[in-house]
Amino acid sequence: MDPRNRVFVVTDSAHKLSDFLAYVENNYALTLAYSRQEVLADTDLRSAAAVVFTDQPNDMDARRFCERIDPRWKERPKVIAAGPRNSPWLTFVKGQTAVDGVIHTNAPSEQQIRTFGVLVSLRAEQALAELGPKAMTIWRESSKVLKNIEGLVEAGQPIPRAAVHNLAESVVEGTEDALLCDMMRVLREHHAETLVHSLDVAMNVLLLGRHVGVRSKADQRLLFEAGIMHDVGKMEIPSGILRKPGKLTAEEFAVMRQHPVSAVRILQESGGYDEHVIWAAAHHHEKIDGSGYPYGLAGAKISEIGRLTAVCDVFCALTERRSYKPPTPPEKAFDIMKSMGPGQLDPTLLERMMEMVYGSLPTQKLAV
Ligand SMILES: [Fe+2]
Ligand SMILES: [Fe+2]
């Protein structure tokens, strides 16, 4: 196991944080170790992802825990202090060591999850940094743009196209396919947030588009924009439904099925988006036999960009980590996609995608 995926939770009473920790374990590629002894002993904390200090009555122990983390380490675990808001414990830990995040054990879990989201993004950043500065720039720009979009959707404000367009431009210009593939691998392994999914789909749509013959840079930018924005409607769905680990009820699924409709409205109201970007958002859950949603379109009524995005969306959903499942290997993902039958995904595009991933057969032209 990669020690960077290890999180030490220093606690005598893990039950205090059980909901939060279960969420972390289900959603991120992290293994939790609940042991004071293990941290006090000679464990190599330097390479761990994080150490979570929870409410400890014994200050001597707490001091020893903190001393194990040397702030001069170049690479050190993120330090998370957990305790009730305004507790003397939190003040104490902050006085002892540099704290990267605080979990208020008496605060709503959403905030705790955000704290951890930041932490895991930082770990993903480290893994991306190994791929070089270009990967880092793309990741930082994408996160910034996507977070900004999330904020604008929450506030019901238009999303200026310029930011999305500029991001697409910087990815399309001079980014080699191999680097995009490596980035997708790293991102999929790390976590399962919508942000990562949007970027994963965007890179895939771009690569598949290039593979099937989309040569002009302007069209390639549209492909990337389409991928980034395809699930923008999900940002309006209550997080209780979006993050639900189990199966959705019929009512919840009905809400979920509206996200392409919301996306179309958001993009149209924002103004300036190319119709291909809007079609991708509108059509990516439609099926060739008309059994998809939200419009129940069939065959050629589904736009080509919609069909292309659908193939990438399913492939990414399978190969990404989810709260209820680990990432599915690509070969197995293709088996599942093939078993869905020709009425679901565009069979030609599915074949092209397999060619692309396996890198074996010749390419063919596709007008987007
Ligand atoms: Fe979707
Ligand atoms: Fe999606």
| Ligand nearest to the Cα of 260, by number | 1
- Same-domain status, 49 and 80: yes
Q: Which ligand is nearest to the CA of 281?
A: 1
Residue 204 Cα to ligand 2 midpoint, Å, equals 12
**How many whole angstroms from 332 Cα to the centroid of ligand 2?**
19
Same domain, 222 and 320: yes
- Looking at the structure, tell me whether residues 12 and 140 fall in a common domain: no
> Does a structural domain hold residue 363?
no
**Whether 289 and 157 share a structural domain:** yes
Q: At 22, is the pLDDT very low, low, confident or very high (cuts 50, 70, 90)? A: low
Give the Å distance between the CA of 128 and the centre of ligand 1.
26
pLDDT at residue 364 in the model: 47
Which amino acid does the sequence have at 246? G
Q: Which numbered ligand comes closest to the C-alpha of 256? A: 1
131 pLDDT more than 70? yes
Q: Could you read off the pLDDT of 285-297 as tens digits, one per residue?
A: 999 999 999 999 9
367 belongs to a structural domain: no
Query: Percent helix, strand and coil across the chain, each rounded to 5?
Result: 60, 5, 35
Residue 326 Cα to ligand 2 middle (Å): 17
Distance 230 CA to ligand 1 centre (A): 6
Query: Can you give the pTM of this predicted structure?
Result: 0.73
Question: What is the distance in A from the centroid of ligand 1 to the CA of 324?
Answer: 18
Diameter of the chain measured on Cα atoms: 70
The pLDDT, as a whole number, for residue 202 is 95
Distance from the alpha carbon of residue 263 to the mean position of ligand 1, in angstroms: 9
Answer yes or no: do 136 and 82 share one domain: no
In a domain, 329, yes or no: yes
Q: What is the pLDDT of residue 183?
A: 82
Place of tokens 């069909």: 307
233 pLDDT band, cuts 50/70/90, is very high
Whole-number mean pLDDT of the chain?
81
Q: What is the distance in A from the centroid of ligand 2 to the CA of 174?
A: 26
Q: Are 165 and 191 in contact (CB under 8 A)?
A: no
**Spacing, Cα 184 to ligand 2 middle (Å):** 15
What is the Cα–Cα distance from 26 to 316, expressed in whole angstroms? Answer: 18
Residues 136 and 40 in one domain: no
Residue 151 sits in the same domain as residue 40: no
Query: What is the CA(176)–ligand 1 centre distance, in A?
Result: 27
Rounded distance from Cα 113 to ligand 1 centre (Å): 22
Q: Give me the domain span that covers residue 110.
A: 3-118
Cα–ligand 2 centroid distance for 286 (angstroms):
12
Number of domains in the chain: 2
CA angle 128, 196, 274 (to 5 degrees): 115
Domain assignment of residue 124, yes or no? no
- Out of 187-191, 253-257, 272-276, least confident range: 187-191
Ligand nearest to the CA of 201: 2
Which residues have C-beta within 8 Å of that of residue 27, sequence separation ≥ 6?
Answer: 191, 192, 321, 323
pLDDT digits (tens, 9 = 90+) for 301-342: 999 999 999 999 999 999 887 656 678 888 999 999 999 988
Q: Kindly report the CATH number assigned to the domain that includes residue 326.
A: 1.10.3210.10
In a domain, 284, yes or no: yes
Domain edge (last residue) among 78, 96, 118: 118
Tell whether 156 and 52 lie within a shared domain. Answer: no
Residue 125 lies in a domain: no
Task: Tell me which residue has tokens 């209820």.
Answer: 324
**Do both 183 and 306 map to the same domain?**
yes
Query: Looking at the structure, do residues 39 and 188 belong to the same domain, yes or no?
Result: no
Q: How far is ligand 1, taken at its centre, from the CA of residue 62, in Å?
A: 46
State the distance from the centre of ligand 1 to the C-alpha of 270, rounded, in angstroms.
19
Of 118, 140, 160, the one marking the end of a domain is 118
In sequence order, what E strands does 185-263 have? none
Last residue of a domain, one of 91, 118, 145: 118
Span from the CA of 260 to the centroid of ligand 2 (angstroms)? 10
* The pLDDT of residue 368 is above 60: no
Do 110 and 256 lie in a common domain? no
Q: Find the 240 Cα to ligand 1 centroid distance in Å.
A: 17
